Amino acid sequence: MRLTSEIKVSLVAAICVLALAIISKYSLNAELDLVSQYGPVWIYITYVITRHKKGKPNVCNRPLFWSLAMIIATALILVVYRV
């Protein structure tokens, strides 16, 4: 069974959202607002909307780019709430 690009990126989004929820509740003791809590989901929605756009650079068409964007956004959200 081979996973499609959309499934790979959606799995990364799900893992990032779970990580945000667990780390913010048990480690940071902070409640995230709606935009921060679903940051990886917003990136996934952007990926779904723009994946077939012409004129995008080649690197933006790859699932690795979007997965890394979600992971970096998740880390930045946690850093902002940590401070």
Q: Which residue has the tokens 């699932």?
A: 63
For the cut 90, the answer to whether the pLDDT of residue 10 exceeds it is yes
Mind listing the pLDDT tens digit for each residue in 12-68? Answer: 999 999 999 999 988 888 888 888 889 999 999 999 888 777 766 777 788 899 999
Residue 50 has a CB neighbour count (10 Å cut-off) of: 12
In sequence order, what are the residues at sequence separation of 6 or more whose Cβ sits closer than 8 angstroms to the Cβ of residue 56? Answer: 50
The model scores a pTM over 0.75: yes
Extract the tokens encoding 55.
Answer: 């004129």
